């Protein structure tokens, strides 16, 4: 039987990218500044994560202006929702599979 951790998707299995998907999963779309402040990331760092997620087809980026102010909104795609729930399922399976293991008991 394979270990549940083998099902983890490399794109989603990254702390910040998982949090980005989790935030976007709760809203219709979220603005760049909200994501940056919520995740305590630099603009450049967040941009790179968003790019990876967009290249994988998990989010959709909308760039526009409000007056003279540039605004970037990110929206989760259907594939993104599926990837998010897969990752959460796998993480829960990892927790369950290692529950009660002696090594972990020592650690905690």
Footprint of another protein (CB under 8 A): 5, 8, 15, 18-19, 22-23, 25-35, 38-39, 66, 73, 88, 91-92, 94-95, 98-99, 101, 104, 107-108
Residue 20 Cβ vs another protein, minimum distance, rounded to whole Å: 8
Contact 75, 28 (CB under 8 A): yes
34 Cβ partners below 8 Å, 6+ apart? 23
- Nearer to another protein (CB atom), residue 12 or residue 52: 12
Contact 89, 97 (CB under 8 A): no
- Nearer to another protein (CB atom), residue 5 or residue 51: 5
Contact 21, 84 (CB under 8 A): yes
Retrieve residue 44's tokens. 């450049």
Residue 70 Cβ vs another protein, minimum distance, rounded to whole Å: 13
Burial class (CB in 10 A: 0-12, 13-18, 19+), 21: buried
Residue 23 Cβ vs another protein, minimum distance, rounded to whole Å: 5
Residue 64 Cβ vs another protein, minimum distance, rounded to whole Å: 12
């Amino acid at each position: 039987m394979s270990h549940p951790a083998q099902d983890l998707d490399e794109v989603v299995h990254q702390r910040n990218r998982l949090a980005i998907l989790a935030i976007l999963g709760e809203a219709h779309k979220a603005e760049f500044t909200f994501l940056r402040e919520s995740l305590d990331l630099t603009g450049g760092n967040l941009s790179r994560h968003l790019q990876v997620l967009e290249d994988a087809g998990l989010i959709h980026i909308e760039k526009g202006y409000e007056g003279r102010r540039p605004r970037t909104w990110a929206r989760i795609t259907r594939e993104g929702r599926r990837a998010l729930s897969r990752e959460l399922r796998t993480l829960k399976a990892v927790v369950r599979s290692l529950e009660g293991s002696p090594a972990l008991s020592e650690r905690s």
